Structure 1
Amino acid sequence: MREIKVGLLGLGTVGSGVLKMIQENGDKITNVTGQRITVKTALVRNPAKHEAVADSVTLTTDFAEILNDEEIDIAVELLGGLHPAEEYITALLKQHKHVVTANKDLIAAVGPRLAQLAHDNHCDLMYEASVAGGIPILRTIANSFSADQILEVKGIVNGTTNYILTQMAKQGLDYDTALKQAQELGFAEADPTNDVKGKDAAFKMVILSHFAFGTEVAVDELEIVGIDQLTKEDVAQASKLGYVVKLVGLAKVVNHGLFVEVAPTLVNQSHPLASINNENNAVMVTGQAVGDTLFYGPGAGGLPTANSVLSDITSTTKNLVLKTTGNSFNNFAQELGPADPKAVSFPYYLSLKMPDVPGQMQQLAGLMTQVGASFQQLVQTAAHQGHAHVVVITHAINQAQLAQLKELLDQSPTLSLQAAYKVLD
């Protein structure tokens, strides 16, 4: 039996969870892999904060101690962010060390380059924990869907925003109050920008798109809308219409083109994604053969994420034993261009403000007719200070029609579009 030694880059919530699981579940890991896995060294900023584990792990502030240690086979990067994580992983792969990371920002930005570097150096680069925390979605797509044609991947992949939206829907809180509550409970960072503006979810959709469709998509190519402009009035109105507002990441093939988006979405209360609450995540994969499958679980947290990291460590260990390291985590590749905006259609929820005077609804109907759109539902609330609030759910319209309608409403001297969210039935 060989001892596989691991170096941890970061000993925070997830790093501590990895260490704990290796120490407590060592017998099972050995049973599965045939090898004994131990953490030899951990890179930390302040060793004094980690005195509780100093007897079992060497603590260091010097990255070179892990990089140049020939006994360390696998390095686990849990620092987050682009730098110095990119430089560290690059150096580790060039030093022929296998790398496991949970860094979604990095994988979304430079994952293909790092994957090629890993391949060139006969190393494994694994990153299951970069998407949806404890849900083993990437390996499932890569392995269990390898023979099926995936048509669509959609889901709730950010726990912070899902917690906020749950509180807005169930407690009637406004956005600012729900965000503050999330921060107090540790579900949101002090600076929640990446979460609430949808960028964190976009990073994950880039990675999911690569696995599901074999196509590299850049974050700046996505349509990204966050929840920071969402009002409790729209959340309440959606509920009255039979919907729940969720931040949904969606990627689907439409006429041989790929459409990827992150945006607030009205999800029908009967839809499986509508019941995903608080900090939990869920990813729905639609295959041509298997149909809809749903993967649900905690999207963050020390031990759930550590479990995904351990999955990668054990997979890499098996590859070491079988001498099959250096294969890409995801081998599926194909070229898909962006989907034609005229081919991508959804019903839309439109929230509008207009003067409470005759003729305004006729004007709105005229603009809808001009772009070839029609009403599915229309609700007008009580007028306030001379203005009416009107909510429309359209029949399915394509992205080109939506863009044209937004432009016409923007030019209108009296009709003001407050929000436009797609509807998922």
Structure 2
Amino acid sequence: MKIYKVGGAVRDRLLGIKVTDIDRVVVGATAEEMLARGYKPVGADFPVFLDPKNGDEYALARTERKSGRGYGGFVFHASPEVTLEEDLIRRDLTINAMAEDDDGNLTDPYHGQQDLEARILRHVSPAFAEDPLRVLRVARFAARYAHLGFTVAPDTLELMRQLSESGELEALTPERSWKEISRALMEDQPQVFIQVLRDCTALKTLMPEVDALFGVPQPEAHHPEIDTGVHTLSVLEQTALHKQPLTVRWACLLHDLGKGLTPVDKLPQHIAHEHTGLKLVKAVNERFKAPRDCQELALLVCQYHTHGHRALELKASTLLELLHNFDVYRRPQRFEEFVIACEMDARGRKGFEQRSYPQADYLRGAARVAREVAVAPLLEKGFKGPQLGEALKRERLNALKAYKEQHTL
């Protein structure tokens, strides 16, 4: 029985990156031996065990073969006869197919260290094409390590393309897809994730609404980058540069989907794209069963982001309606994330990356003014029920009118 560190722990140590999770593989042992040593099984049908002292995970060396569609369509075989090399060959990328023993000796049968040095993401074997989830995983690794110069090997990208066109991606469950997508969006260069998916045609299957944005022109005066797809990638890049949360990143990815529906004879103008895009945003939200906070913000940003950009021009009554639609009195954080998303959208234009965005502080100030209107004086005047609501609305409107006048002097 011999234990090895495998996968990300070995990869990141060789890259000089802090190791957070350590996966271990056990060669030459049976499930009965693991149980006898006090390890606790994770599940009845999978040869993975936890160390009761620290919760570390240990997996018996195993082989896999394809038995059906999707990422779950595999049968595995775990036994003491399975070698380390046989276990490693089932892994996705060569840089993830290295192992290290307790003395620091490296086992690298598929030249992962060489690919690390060459900054290449390369599949280990043709069996890569048996698991559609690997398309998303490789795109995520490309986003994670783009800052180090990593790119996807051409032959690996071709396998990803074959997988994308085989229909296998459609067998992925919403939960597994979302897990990869959400992790990828939180990487340092999430735009690379989307670009790699597009390069292998997976984006057309997974998010045809986003794929449709590429090649769609916008007015050059407002969008020097012109292409809506390029703009979307730039906005996503800004969200990462400014360390924004997942809710904002998801909303920014979907905010312009309506532009993909603009009739050709109306281009490059996109009249009412905020409203035509709502059904598309809803469809993508539901396809991946995105968390409720992500779904809500994506819909609101799609519908109101042009209001954000025109904030200084909005009438006080329109501003009050906007604040009401965001429920800023009970959910101030959601409005703050909307403001941030609008700023990321504005910065995601060629040449505008460092431009100030005064609309942000203006909107924050408007929300503060509306929230500061006190209810107590109205109660003292005898207002109650629907009359109280109307009186509160009038007071907030007057406060916003005064705020607007103050900022237009």
Normalising by the smaller structure, the TM-score range is 0.3 to 0.5
TM-score (norm 2): 0.32
Structure number having the greater helix percentage: 2
Q: Which has the higher contact order (CA 8 A, sep 6+)?
A: 1
TM-score (norm 1): 0.32
Structure number having the greater strand percentage: 1
